Amino acid sequence: MQRIVGQVRKAVDDYRMIEDGDRVAVGISGGKDSLVLAAALAKLARYYPKRFEVVGLTLDMGFGADYSEVRRFCEEYGIEYHIKETRIKEIVFDERKESNPCSLCSKMRRGALNDFAKEHGCKRVALGHHNDDVLDTFMLSLLYEGRVHTFSPVTEMTRSGIWQIRPLIYVRECEVKSIVRDHDIPVVKSLCPADGATKRADMKEIIHDLDMRTGKGLRRRLFHAVTQLEDWKLE
């Protein structure tokens, strides 16, 4: 865990993600990434020069998931935790019956999470996107949109006044999985019917295959290309 805390601190320092006195909301879906992020930020908050608090926020999508173990996990790490029920599942799957639900679901979750964060005095929302997500999104944009793009380490949501931060950008997904296994972190299984059946899952396979065929090092080179994008350049 200490290695991941170090990588999170580097990302926070490099991109000035947190200011003194911040209440940082972590969008906890119950998945491995958001839980590891919450734990790492809670550990970092104990000694980071800039004082900040970690607040765990879960949007109950309506799939019937049990978050009792997540609540226990947050208590163990000293994380303030709140759950809010939503109608996202009902709207996306039952009413609109979206054939491609991920886009609408993502927009609704983002808006609901930003509002939830403001309700609890948080202007920073930490999302659990790790290094593999950076590269997957980069390839998705390149192959399906014809543009060189991925999400930024820090994004100002001007309409809501929220800053989205992504402290796991230097952390590989395999490292997250290792922490979950070694620390017995209580991951909540996703009950979404679209889970795993996405173009993003295809990108993971493509990058893995290319990495193996080119003698490895592809991920490092792709990430270097990402850091040259305007929103990623360090000042």
Under 8 Å between Cβ of 152 and 232: yes
Give the amino acid at 221. Answer: R
Q: What percent of the chain has pLDDT over 90?
A: 72
- Average the pLDDT over each of 1-5, 111-115, 120-124, 186-190 and give the range with the smallest value: 186-190
Q: Taking Cα atoms as reference points, which of 152, 223, 182 lies closest to residue 39? A: 182
Structure tokens at 76: 């163990």
Mean pLDDT of 67-72: 95
**Which of the four pLDDT bands, split at 50, 70 and 90, describes residue 163?**
very high
Q: What is the pLDDT of residue 199?
A: 81
Helix (H) or strand (E) holding 27: strand 22-27
At residue 197, does pLDDT exceed 70?
no
Please, which residues have CB within 8 angstroms of residue 173's CB and are 6 or more apart in sequence? Answer: 33, 130, 131, 132, 133
Burial tier of 157 (Cβ tally within 10 Å: 0-12, 13-18, 19+): middle
Structure tokens at 74: 């947050």
E-strand stretches of 61-199 = 80-85, 124-126, 154-157, 162-165
**Which of the four pLDDT bands, split at 50, 70 and 90, describes residue 195?**
low
> For residues 191-227, b (16+ Cβ closer than 10 Å) or e, as one string?
ebeeeeeeeeeebbeebeeebeeeeeebbeebbeebe
Q: What is the pLDDT of residue 61?
A: 85
State the CB neighbour count (10 A cutoff) for residue 50.
13
Mean pLDDT of 37-54: 98
Mean pLDDT of 206-227: 90
Q: What is the pLDDT of residue 167?
A: 98
Q: What is the pLDDT of residue 63?
A: 84
Place of tokens 């109608």: 87
Q: Taking Cα atoms as reference points, which of 142, 148, 123 lies closest to residue 52? A: 123
Q: How far is CA 45 from the centre of its chain?
A: 18
Under 8 Å between Cβ of 4 and 179: yes
Mean pLDDT of 195-210: 82
**Which of the four pLDDT bands, split at 50, 70 and 90, describes residue 196?**
low
